[in-house]
Chains A and B, each alone.
Chain A
Amino acid sequence: MSGVRVLVGTRKGAFILTADGARQHWQVDGPHFGGWEVYHVNGSPADPDRLYAAQSGGWFGQLIQRSDDGGRTWEPVGNDFTYDGDVGEHLWYDGTPRPWEFKRIWHLEPSRDDPDTVYAGAEDAALYRSTDGGREWQELTALRTHESGPRWQPGAGGMCLHTIILDPVHRDRIYVAISAAGAFRSDDAGGTWRPINRGLVSGQIPDPDAEVGHCVHRLAMHPSRPDVLFMQKHWDVMRSDDGGGSWREISGDLPTDFGFPIAVHAHEPETVYVVPIKSDSEHYVPDGRLRVFRSRSGGDEWEPLTAGLPQENCYVNVLRDAMAVDTLDPCGIYFGTTGGQVYRSADNGDTWAPIVRDLPTVLSVEVQALP
């Protein structure tokens, strides 16, 4: 590997951070799309120079940008995210029905083997796919029109489809997660969907173990074990060993099990990372200490990782799409904060250092290992 490229989406633009394989010395390039919210930037596993960015803003709406040269130049591509067919209604905060209304794209997930195929997760929740490099988008309507759709309700961040996982082994299997509806799985490339929330318990909803209504914050999978899923829920860190058929709690000895991101080590499928946050109403790290917690046993037992991270007077959050791992050895871990810092560890999380400290609020972090 010649190096790594970290793709950072922020409240006011995108930044691209690059380093060689040692991951000690970094170049910071940006802002791209300055002044716009960039919820996500992601690269194609099949062609690392093919990048997609979700650029949006209150004034001028949603744009998708594409780069074919690793982020040096960008081209706006398609932004028609019209809901296909009957729009339908979901539950609003006050419990009344409300029509689906497109607001923005939260997450872009390129196909593992075709640079022109990419999936997009929307608020209000819907899943789109493009097979022509982002020029045209087709909604996979079976998700939004699932019979449970009228019972979906937005979380505080909106009714967003924020996680898309393309199963590398079961090629037609797709996992998505929606706040606050829950996790869903398709085994036929998006033709049909079923909720996979059995075992989730959420005290914030009237029926704590309802089929839908759970505020899933993030799912993660190791590509070598696609039936094992990890979840950071609103509260609770969860694990499934049967492709989401059932879940069990693995919060164990975490100081708090509220949080947003969750990630799996690139080479150790039982090594998992979370960033505990004080509570649902106090979105900052507990005790003023920024600590990543690592489990090397697939959950339940967690150790704080603090070397190089601020251990006093720190009150940042780490958002759901703002943590990523690279595939180098040793594995690199990266995360961005609401305070604008992007931290990296080049040694499995043992030690950390900031790559950059003063960006706008970080919304998303992805990393590419460059050939």
Chain B
Amino acid sequence: MIRVVLPAHLRNLARVTGEVRLDLEAGDGEVTQRLLLDALEERYPMLRGTIRDRASGQRRAFVRFYACEEDLSNDSPDAPLPAPVATGAEPLLIVGAMAGG
């Protein structure tokens, strides 16, 4: 079970409160950012395009991924997420960057 914390605007959009909990089918492989986001968007289709750009599939410029007090935003989408995220001990934080007005 994976835990994800969405920013307030996306919680409103997905009509959830608190953390989102996802059961991932990672097969024999590692849990990656891509697998996690695919599962998140599958369960909440209204989030498609809000975290990753529709056309490029890349993280949107003003979205950040944090976990275990580390910034994972620029990690490869196919790199394994930290073990505490994969086990559910720690959540992945999806954060709107400090920008805007």
Contact = CB atoms under 8 A, between A and B. Distances in A.
A35 B8 CA distance: 11
Interface stretch (B22-30, B54-62, B70-78, B80-88): B54-62
Interface in B41-71: 46, 48-51, 53-55, 60-63
Interface size class of A (residues with CB under 8 A): 10 to 19
A59 B46 contact: no
B100 A102 contact: no
Nearest to A11: B101
Main DSSP-derived SS at the B contact region: loop
B9 A79 contact: no
A269 B60 CA distance: 46
A36 B8 CA distance: 12
Main DSSP-derived SS at the A contact region: loop
Interface in A81-111: 81-83, 102
Interface residues of B, number: 20
Contacts of B62: 58-59
Contact of A76 (B13, B51, B55, B60): B13
B55 A57 contact: no
A56 to B, nearest CB: 10
A200 B13 CA distance: 44
Contacts of B54: 61, 79-82, 102
A60 B63 contact: yes
Interface of B: 7, 9-10, 13, 46, 48-51, 53-55, 60-63, 96-97, 99-100
19 contacts: A57-B100, A58-B61, A59-B62, A59-B63, A59-B99, A60-B7, A60-B9, A60-B51, A60-B96, A61-B49, A61-B54, A63-B46, A63-B49, A76-B46, A79-B54, A80-B54, A82-B54, A82-B55, A83-B55
Given A58-B100, A80-B48, 14 more contacts: A35-B9, A57-B9, A58-B62, A58-B99, A59-B96, A59-B100, A60-B7, A60-B9, A63-B13, A63-B49, A63-B50, A79-B49, A80-B54, A82-B54
Interface of A: 35-36, 57-63, 76, 79-83, 102
